[in-house]
Chains A and B, each alone.
Chain A
Amino acid sequence: MNKLKNIKLNIALMIIVLCVATILSSCKKSNPVTASPPITETTSEQPSTTAIIEESDYIKLDMLIQYQNGIQVLPVIYDVTSVNLKASDGYEIRLDLLLVEGIKYPTYFPRQNETLDSPLIPIPETDSLKYLLCNHHKIYLIDLSVPSIDMLLTEADEDTTYAKSLEHNQANGLYWGTKPILSDDGHYLLYLTNRRNNGKTNDIRLYDFNTKEDILLAKDSYYTDAYISDTTVFYTCKDMLMRIEISSKAKAAVSYSISSNGSFSYPYYIYTTTYYQKYEILNLLTLNVEKGSLGTENSALKILSTKTNRSNTAAFLLLDKQKITLSFVDIQHNKLIKTFVLSDSFRLVYTQWKDNNTLLVSGYEGDTNEKTYLLSY
């Protein structure tokens, strides 16, 4: 009898533990952000219903072409010099400089350079003299007028120094400053760091170039892509799109159902809802969502967007095993502008906006034949 009672007690205890665990787990899932207005969805004219037109007014070249910061770096057509720079933390780099119309542009040759890990990001309105460089998870400021290099984000405070964070760091690294994103006017730098938490969770921080203030925007958060408007930081994280007001640091969700396979073109975020065919355009200010689809059910979508003062344009690359198709879409009106069908068996390497009107698509036809298309709308 006692044994039976004991078994019953054990079962009751297990049920209680399971209930508590379930409650705790559901509590963890709830998001501590402020409520957002509901998203209204409207389906506009579907670009996919428009017949794909093959255009012939494109330029096709038998070579790989790559641009960085508006300058052609591959193949090399400009004179190249180099400069060696050393930061105060001991980091030494050799910068290759392209001489274009009397101005030196630093560049990055991905498969050759032994000291540089990533391209440089020009800081707007500095006459191409100041750049950001992210190397081994530290952000450096390069000033070509000196020339000099140094860590932009130094010690946060006495308790959070680089050396102390490194001491507590585990297997795969201290990310002191990564994923730099600049505002269009060069006023703000958004970045991620796990220094406060000794190599564990990341924080989102904002550096103000005018005041030199380094602001903690969100603890234990991260982003995949972001855009900084005059007053607000918008960022994607998993299937969420969030906003943080810079002045108040108030955080709110814009959407819980986006994909990180997308692109900002303020005030829009355009993204794929599946890997294939379908996309959505979210207006970050009105929360209106426009839907569309392109190509066939086998067309994987790659999106690159651009914007001018008057328009927002997305370039959709539709990839399937047979061919690549490029469609330009007017984001504001969700309308197809123009479509190009590229050659068969094309292996894409570079996809870049050469300017606001022309997309460069570069890669290999067959296995090894280099090809570049310059396609304008």
Chain B
Amino acid sequence: MKKHTCFRIRFTCIITFLLTLSMICVLSASDYDRAFIQKPINNLLIQALSPYKSAEGIEYWPLCTSKNNQPRYVSGTNPHQGTDLSINVGESIYPIYDGEVIYINKDISAQLGHIVVKSDIGYEESVYIEYLHVIPIDGIETGDYVYTSIPIATIDEYKRYDSHLHIGRVNAERALHYQLYDLFSDTARWKNGSDLDVFSHPNFNSEMNTFSITAYVSSDTENTDYYGGYGRFPMKYITFFYSVNNGTWKNFNITDYDEDFRYSFNIKDLTGAKSNDNLRYYLTATRDNNSTLDTTFKDATYTVAYYPAYYSHPSATLTKDQADIISISITIK
């Protein structure tokens, strides 16, 4: 073998090894980078309009195929940073609020046409909504003010992904994802917004010490029950992690839920906390990869969603420091 050929092979091997090593390092380090913000908007005056509707303004509510914060068995962010809506190629997409275009990517070669609209909706901070896998309408530029009654884009054709709309609420830098459900809490067709996020509508009744939260997933791969069953599948269980008066973190599982996938339980009874105790908590929802309903998830290795959502790809349990960052504090009555 010639000398320069040997050198080339050795050089390629070393570069490949270094690239692989750096990718592993980046992936493992980024698991606990922040990817989500959980900050519900209560009593929102202006409910969002659907991004998918007729030219006359009659709204449609397409199937959600992958929720925000959902553990998945497909490529892409995991848990999912945003919500996928099943809308076919060519359909017009409308902004869900009037607002200013703050980011636009018109390069559709990889099906990554992207628009972000900033809207002031009478809430304490602006709301930023992103629309991905779209072809922006001709003439739209950054800085333009757009309206809910005029389309801003159409759904792009298949290049890497099946045609769909990825919609998300992001921060100004487009790096972190908020929950979406509270923008659609009056929409029965999307179960008051619960179709859009794995966890939704948390409520702690401080008089009764009861806690309730809705948790379920949507199908994100082929499933013969998918169309008839509207793609909603229960969790295997949710887990309540808690620390009383800064003590050791403990947990218990809840498996009972009502017909709307709502879990309700008494925190005082189940934790043994006493009146005036300080209790910190967070939850996980574990997706069932042995489900006879949600059959396409069976080989997935990553199965948990967190409430509050925070980390980009956390493990099923957190260290004390990691838990301290996301936990919510309450006082037991």
Contact = CB atoms under 8 A, between A and B. Distances in A.
B122 A367 contact: yes
Contacts of B228: 89-91
B84 A275 contact: no
Interface string A1-14: 01100100000000
B222 A169 contact: yes
A213 B219 CA distance: 34
Contacts, number: 183
Q: How large is the interface on B (under 10, 10 to 19, 20 to 34, 35 or more residues)?
A: 35 or more
A280 B252 CA distance: 65
Nearest to A237: B90
Nearest to B153: A260
Main secondary structure of the interface of B (DSSP, over half): loop
29 contacts: A2-B4, A66-B57, A90-B228, A91-B228, A110-B58, A117-B61, A166-B222, A166-B224, A168-B222, A171-B66, A171-B220, A172-B86, A172-B161, A179-B91, A202-B89, A202-B163, A259-B137, A260-B137, A261-B137, A261-B151, A273-B138, A302-B147, A304-B55, A347-B148, A348-B148, A348-B149, A349-B49, A349-B148, A351-B56
B187 A224 contact: no
Interface in A116-142: 117-119, 136-138
Interface of A: 2-3, 6, 66, 68, 89-91, 108, 110-114, 117-119, 136-138, 163, 166-173, 175, 178-179, 192, 194, 199-202, 222-224, 237-239, 259-261, 263, 272-276, 298, 300-302, 304, 317, 319-321, 347-352, 362, 367-368
Contacts of A178: 88, 91
B324 interface: no
Contact of B221 (A170, A350, A367): A170
B146 interface: yes
B61 A302 contact: no
B46 interface: yes
A113 B138 contact: no
B78 interface: no
B179 interface: no
B63 interface: yes
B74 A111 contact: no
B45 interface: yes
A319 B149 CA distance: 9
Interface in B26-80: 45-46, 49-50, 54-63, 65-66, 74
Contacts of A3: 4
Interface string B109-148: 0000000000000100000000000010111100011111
Contacts of B148: 347-349
B62 A117 contact: yes
A300 B188 contact: no
B154 interface: yes
A181 B212 CA distance: 45
Interface string B184-216: 001111000000000000000000000000000
